[in-house]
Structure 1
Amino acid sequence: MADTVELIVTKLSKKGEGIAFYQDWEVYIPQVLLGEKLQVELGEPFVQGSARRPGKVVQILEPSVHRVSSYPCSKFGLCGGCQYMHVNYQEQLRVKQADIAQAVNSAVNSAVNNSASSAAKNSAKLVNLSAEDIPMEAVGAQNCRSKSIRYFANDNELGLIQGFYASRSHDLVAIESCCQEVDGFAPCASSLTKLLASKGVKAQDSGAGAIKTESLDPFYVKALQLRKADNELMALLIVTGAIADKHKSALKTWAQEQGLGSFYVGYNNQSGNSLYCEQVELIYGQELLVKNLLGLNYYFGPQTFMQVNYDMTQKLYSEAIEHCYKHKAPENKADEVALDLCCGVGTMTLALAQHFKQVIGVEIVDSAIELAQKNALLNNINNVSFIAADINKVLPSLLNSAQRAKVKAVIADPSRAGLGADCARLIGKIPGPCAVSLIFCSLTALKRDLPILLKAGFTITKVKGFDMFANTNHIETLVCLTKSK
């Protein structure tokens, strides 16, 4: 029989779980708040030898004043998609503001304690930021996720099901509708699942190894990716191998009946949850869809990266871009260069172009660069260039001693890994005047990259949070920096 103990939540994890301490254990408890007193059933350690173990709430003995009693989703607590649905929205924002403040304080302290730079010393005034010191752009509404991935599984009673994984597991929770998704996703996913089930299609066993790629009848499915342009939906069904023509015909008919703008099948025969497809096949509709952002039009395809809350993205990118051109020097415009690192399909590159003589976008994904070039033509912008390369390999040449003085702005929206220490050090060598706008989806990356730039002479001018999705722990942090000389 599992041990049941009384605990008080003393902090929150990065995943939004409560953390309490019992003897020598850190106990991770979902759907609880700071300061709550709980009766908790202890689970086994996450891995053998770990000092961390899960806990399950048996009873809330002293609830927080910030707890809410009703939820907009009946699957909360089962599905792992939302972490904060039990918390009122203002407290959700305060928690995120406090997380950002702690990360920035840590970064500034690191820079100040390990540098004689006057700029780093000037940033010392930012130390001990509180949650209230961090401005926050609050999400306007739910139903704002314009891209979603639903996974498939086999249920002994229900047959083929689709939905999202439970927290810390690969156990699928069947989901009909999700309050985070835009309209149209739920009926599309539901009707496709019924079609697949009627054809005898099953999901790939999550424990199976790679599946051979010859034609399978019926085939196996892994996931369904849905995304929305301005008024059209694009669907990508990810399967384990080539499928028979009769199944393609049925899928094409289904896509046409659904009124999809584009429907692809992608092939991934690997075990595990990697969903990248080396090959995608257009089954129905247009090869590319178009999304308008920041007053410009952008093509995107089935595996294109774009931020998925469009309204919040426009606010985030607008402030990042504005910082870059408002803090540049008025002289030497003929030589002004801006860099967009991890540029994707050129979303910020093209928006920066009207403010600089030349903008260079760098992205490691070849297909994204191909679309970025198409997007430049689509918008009649000719003062941009794009490089398909790893930024770690190409940045040394872009910022060599002869070129770096021309760079007056750097903007970047990298993956969760951030820019990395080497890239941050190279950016730090750019002489002033220079403006830098960095977007972090990981505060761990912020705490690593930011001190390097501060020690190199940059000063923080703005830190702001952008709450992408209510009831979740997802947040984007914009850090704006300048160097005067």
Structure 2
Amino acid sequence: MSKRANSPVRSGDVVEVTVDRLAQGGRGVARYEGFVLFVGRALPGDRVRARVTRVKRSFAEAVTQELLEPGPDSITPPCPYVGTCGGCPWQRLDYAAQARVKESQVREAIERIGGVESPPMQPILAADETFGYRNKVEYTFDQDPETGIVSAGFHKAGSWEEIVPVDPCLIADQRGVPAQRTVVAWANRHGLAVYDRDAQSGLLRALVVRVGHATGEVQVHLVTGPTKNGLPRMAELVDDLEAEVPGLVGVLHSQTDSRAEVAFGDDPPEVLWGRDWFEEVLGGKQLRVRSNSFLQTNTAMANRLYDLVLEVAAPTPDDVAYDLYCGLGSITLSLAPHVREIVGVEVVDEAIECAKENAALNGIENVDWQVGNVRPILKFAKGVWPDPTLVVVDPPRSGLVPKVVRRVCEAKPDRIVYVSCNPTTFAGNLPMFREHGYELTYVRPVDQFPHTSHCELVAKLEPIEGFVPPREEDIVYGRSKQDRRARKADAAAALDQTDASDEPTA
């Protein structure tokens, strides 16, 4: 049992604590004899019995074993799987309290990691609907070792191996639930086996169900292990889905022998029936979405997010805009009618093909689509494309790398709109922008994922008045070796500033 010199607990100890608040990432923050504990599966005000799992220099990690007394904002969740399924850890927390926590966490990240005092925060844009909002659900198959019964569900909280059968998932669009039930019934009727990744035997791996929120169109994608002679009983499965799933437009099948747990195949999926795309309406534009295309999973809130992007960007007919990390072009197409021209940049070739198709579908012709990594494309763009007056970035969870920040700022746009799915990495980008002459002038959290710790935001950065660029040798974030050292130093400083009262990963 490990124990640090200044720690009152050892790994394996069981302690009783009261949770003060939630840290970045969703774990509860408590103190035991003055020592900070990050407690999984606990909410503010909860009195819990928790088992210590890891001890570090200034904090320890623990997981709740027993809820002794719920906190004041705790409610009885409608889902019977809460506590075992890992999908909705905050469902036991009143939604108004969830929104307050997320707004507070965004503010805290910007202040502590971003170094912005009194950030220009707007109130959180809370979700209209807190259940039935997910337009895409990825189920993992499981099989009872004794009965052989197949089920579909999600990972057990705290486990990558155990699956909790869930039917129905309450945050999923309920129009997709008949597809889950039909596939599971078909599998059990024919005694099909779930794929064993270690033995590389069996069949069923994952089921992906996608629903067009505005159209009601349903796409079913079955992922299996390799099959020599195609999917067994394929015709019967298709007939069953046609009969049981209103709005069905496509049944797809893909195969993989990957040892990783994945919800996609090694090759583009085979269309067993119908088409390989479904229709959605987003940002007032009609979209065709293919099986592996990224689409915001909460369509209703994505519409509000894109409306907010338009409001914050305030596009004009004279604007030249760049939309970086554009995906299948949802934001690009929303901006296009309001600007002179716009460039959409995305590294995934299939996404750009979808974007071009969607532009044609909506009669939009003022977009230049570019496939590739953002940094080299921005380097190429200088002197070749018109300088942008507006730049929109919607990067992955890892945020922007320093050289992309530098390239964006060197283009000298009038404003930069940053759409982030990870407030912590967004906050980490803010010192980089300041170093290159841009400051935060607006930020608003957006809750697209009720009952989870995830939060998005829309922010605006504008040129710093009277900014004097640093000498090349003084630039910290845009240089590889210095950047690595600086980011490590920033991470350590951010942790020290929290006085061990924030997530250790911040």
Q: TM-score of the superposition, structure 1-length normalised?
A: 0.85
CA distance in structure 1 between the aligned counterparts of 2:60 and 2:379, rounded to whole angstroms: 42
CA distance in structure 1 between the aligned counterparts of 2:328 and 2:50, rounded to whole angstroms: 48
Alignment partner of 2:155 out of 144, 155, 165:
165
Query: Paired residue for 1:139?
Result: 127
CA distance in structure 1 between the aligned counterparts of 2:455 and 2:50, rounded to whole angstroms: 31
Alignment partner of 2:331 out of 348, 355, 359:
348
The structural deviation recorded for 1:4 is 3.4
Match of 2:66, as an amino acid?
A: V
- How do residues 416-427 of structure 1 correspond to structure 2 at under 5 angstroms? 416-427=397-408
Match of 2:189, as an amino acid?
A: S
The structural deviation recorded for 1:15 is 3.4
CA distance in structure 1 between the aligned counterparts of 2:373 and 2:114, rounded to whole angstroms: 28
Q: Deviations over 1:216-266 (max 9, x none)?
A: xxx511111111121210111111113536432223222322341111112
Alignment partner of 1:198 out of 180, 189, 192:
189
1:309 aligns with 2:317: no
Alignment partner of 2:103 out of 97, 103, 118:
97
Q: Is this contact kept in 2: 1:342–1:412, CA < 8 A?
A: yes
Q: Deviations over 1:40-90 (max 9, x none)?
A: 1425449x99974433243525x432222x111011001011121221111
Query: Paired residue for 1:373?
Result: 356
The structural deviation recorded for 1:184 is 2.0
The structural deviation recorded for 1:191 is 1.6
Match of 2:343, as an amino acid?
A: I
Q: Is this contact kept in 2: 1:102–1:129, CA < 8 A?
A: no
Alignment partner of 1:235 out of 220, 228, 241:
220
Q: Is this contact kept in 2: 1:143–1:179, CA < 8 A?
A: yes
The structural deviation recorded for 1:418 is 1.8
The structural deviation recorded for 1:473 is 1.2
Match of 2:14, as an amino acid?
A: T
Q: 1:403 to 1:100 in 2, by over 3 A?
A: farther
The structural deviation recorded for 1:404 is 7.4
Query: Paired residue for 1:480?
Result: 460
**Number of matched residues?**
446
List alignment gaps of at least 5 residues for structure 1. 110-123, 213-218
Q: Is this contact kept in 2: 1:236–1:302, CA < 8 A?
A: yes
The structural deviation recorded for 1:21 is 4.3
Query: Paired residue for 1:85?
Result: 91
Alpha-carbon RMSD across the aligned residues, in angstroms, is 2.7
The structural deviation recorded for 1:194 is 1.3
Query: Paired residue for 1:149?
Result: 138
SS at structure 2 position matched to 1:234: strand
The structural deviation recorded for 1:319 is 1.4
- How do residues 50-449 of structure 1 correspond to structure 2 at under 5 angstroms? 52-61=60-69, 63-68=70-75, 70-109=76-115, 127-129=117-119, 133-141=121-129, 142-158=131-147, 159-170=149-160, 171-206=162-197, 208=198, 211=200, 220-229=203-212, 230-242=215-227, 243-244=229-230, 246-257=232-243, 258-259=245-246, 260-279=248-267, 280-326=269-315, 333=318, 336-398=319-381, 400=382, 402=383, 406-432=387-413, 434-449=414-429
SS at structure 2 position matched to 1:449: helix
CA distance in structure 2 between the aligned counterparts of 1:172 and 1:202, rounded to whole angstroms: 15
Q: Is this contact kept in 2: 1:251–1:283, CA < 8 A?
A: no
CA distance in structure 2 between the aligned counterparts of 1:419 and 1:270, rounded to whole angstroms: 29
Query: Paired residue for 1:42?
Result: 51
CA distance in structure 1 between the aligned counterparts of 2:209 and 2:339, rounded to whole angstroms: 36
Match of 2:378, as an amino acid?
A: L
List alignment gaps of at least 5 residues for structure 2. 1-10, 466-506
Q: 1:105 to 1:155 in 2, by over 3 A?
A: same
Q: 1:397 to 1:144 in 2, by over 3 A?
A: same
Q: TM-score of the superposition, structure 2-length normalised?
A: 0.81
State, as a whole percentage, how many aligned pairs show the same letter: 24
CA distance in structure 2 between the aligned counterparts of 1:205 and 1:23, rounded to whole angstroms: 46
The structural deviation recorded for 1:135 is 1.1
1:469 aligns with 2:457: no
Q: 1:128 to 1:64 in 2, by over 3 A?
A: farther
1:18 aligns with 2:54: no
CA distance in structure 1 between the aligned counterparts of 2:113 and 2:66, rounded to whole angstroms: 39
Q: Deviations over 1:189-208 (max 9, x none)?
A: 012111012222222225x1
CA distance in structure 2 between the aligned counterparts of 1:44 and 1:407, rounded to whole angstroms: 50
Match of 1:240, as an amino acid?
A: G
CA distance in structure 1 between the aligned counterparts of 2:438 and 2:409, rounded to whole angstroms: 7
SS at structure 2 position matched to 1:102: helix
Match of 2:73, as an amino acid?
A: H
CA distance in structure 1 between the aligned counterparts of 2:388 and 2:169, rounded to whole angstroms: 44
SS at structure 2 position matched to 1:261: strand
The structural deviation recorded for 1:456 is 1.9
SS at structure 2 position matched to 1:373: helix
The structural deviation recorded for 1:25 is 7.4
Match of 1:6, as an amino acid?
A: E
Match of 2:457, as an amino acid?
A: T
CA distance in structure 2 between the aligned counterparts of 1:6 and 1:421, rounded to whole angstroms: 43
Q: Is this contact kept in 2: 1:101–1:134, CA < 8 A?
A: no
